Chain A
């Protein structure tokens, strides 16, 4: 076989194998279960980390894979959080799993309606419109006090047993943690399937070159809207989990701080890389947790410095930095 043919076959083989599970992909889940046994006093914090991973994963789908720049992703997180809260508060619907589905449905619907309008734009206009969508929802939640609790939100919510069997134990968060881990696994498998599919490949095409995607006959806008809806629904699930785990929902679930926070998570971990959300969320939350304990008044300074370091030395996040190092060593070995 000629060298040229061999190289071509190797590229095709890489593509054929890319979606297959690799042994190291079990590590995050083994670590997740290990945390459950090793750190029983940190399960509440662990649950928040898992929720943040899921939220970041949903953002990665639109930002990292489809190249849709957004600063308003908290709109969907908040929609899921408020849906579950309002169902529990006004209708006594506190069954957790159907609550998640309701959160996903409402957030997905908002994603669909807003996506139809704002995905007609690009760049700064798109950025501003995503911000506006979030601000509109935030104001709606603030003004609709009769339904949403307004500025005070909805405190003291309680939820039913999981599958009718496992109650949420407020003190140790054991059920919440495992529940959040299981939901994250299910959502991760969905996202993984999507990004390795032909649809996922076309999303990266849209991110890389919109003009060319039009020129190969792809229905670009409908694909953008579709991925936006899926991402919104996943963010809705993350928001719904947040309300169920914490027993409250308030305006903070819809704010710019949450949108910016999840963006920082992805920048830290590396966007468009599937596992960047995991690394980024753990890094961000551990940093936040430790710095806030050590320097209660100036912890954001430390976070800022970490961000500057990542921006300067690891432009594709921590995972991107490891990827570059791996490629460099592989190149040197050849």
Chain B
């Protein structure tokens, strides 16, 4: 469904993505892991069009989308969340999600009809808010919410775009572990044909969620496989645990 071929990105002499060949299948539950500075968020930025690759291509369902700007890729079904919350902080949770749903339904630029008269937008936003158990905070300004609840608003916005490919950049960061099941439940209720790529440091969550894992180190893919294969991979363990493993 989403594929990269020979994807490279450099900032001057610094190479942050090196010949990345990656494939995300339809309906996949895929995790991208790697130590800090491995280039995971850069990779997501390349997939979504925030960054333009120095070399290589990004393909969505076989079509080259490398030159498409971010907004056009979103229209084609690539949605993302951010590692650090990017929300409309002065607006309510309901409004945050409504903005995303309005854009997806193509009414975000409508100038005459009140936003409050768009029953279909409000109903869809309310459904997502309920799904993520954000109902009690729906009328509150996002800035007033605890960070963990804001993370769930991030996900609600991304789901409001009804994506075919969902890229979650450290979605559980800041969510109390007691609430991480809400996140997993939400992902579990997504239609099976949506491909989900999760970038996460919480290995417990990664191994519970992912059917396939890719390990990125220094901007290049170190290993890829099932959770069992990755768990048993000596190189991966060495990257995560350092030389103690080799001793």
Give the interface of A toward B (CB within 8 A): 2-5, 7-12, 14-20, 193-194, 196-202, 204-205, 208-209, 211-220, 223, 226
Contact = CB atoms under 8 A, between A and B. Distances in A.
Interface string B8-36: 00000000000000000000000000000
Given A7-B139, A216-B161, A15 B116 contact: yes
Interface residues of B, number: 56
Given A15-B116, A208-B88, A215-B74, A202 B136 contact: no
A216 B138 contact: no
B129 interface: yes
Contacts of B134: 8
Contacts of A202: 99, 102-103, 108-109
B110 A197 contact: yes
Contact of B99 (A3, A9, A14, A201): A201
Interface centre among B93, B126, B160 (most CB of A within 10 A): B126
Given A4-B136, A217-B104, A204 B88 contact: yes
A211 B85 CA distance: 11
Interface in B124-166: 125-126, 129-130, 133-139, 157, 160-161
Contact of A208 (B89, B100, B136): B89
B60 interface: no
Given A11-B139, A201-B99, A211 B86 contact: yes
A208 B90 contact: yes
A205 to B, nearest CB: 5
A193 B138 contact: no
Given A202-B102, A204-B91, A208-B91, A7 B111 contact: no
Contact of B109 (A14, A212, A223): A223
B112 interface: yes
Contacts, number: 158
A195 to B, nearest CB: 10
Given A15-B95, A208-B89, A209-B87, A219 B100 contact: no
Interface in B154-188: 157, 160-161
Contacts of A199: 108-111
Contact of A219 (B90, B109, B125): B109
Summarize B's interface: helix, strand, loop or mixed: helix
Contacts of B91: 204-205, 208
A196 B80 CA distance: 27
Contact of A201 (B72, B115, B137, B157): B115
A200 B116 CA distance: 11
B117 interface: yes
Given A197-B110, A214-B71, 19 more contacts: A7-B136, A8-B126, A8-B129, A10-B138, A11-B126, A14-B139, A15-B95, A15-B98, A20-B116, A198-B111, A199-B108, A201-B108, A202-B103, A204-B90, A215-B79, A215-B82, A217-B75, A218-B71, A219-B71
A209 B89 contact: yes
B5 interface: no
Given A209-B88, A209-B89, A214-B71, A198 B48 contact: no
B88 A212 contact: yes
A209 to B, nearest CB: 5
A3 B130 CA distance: 12
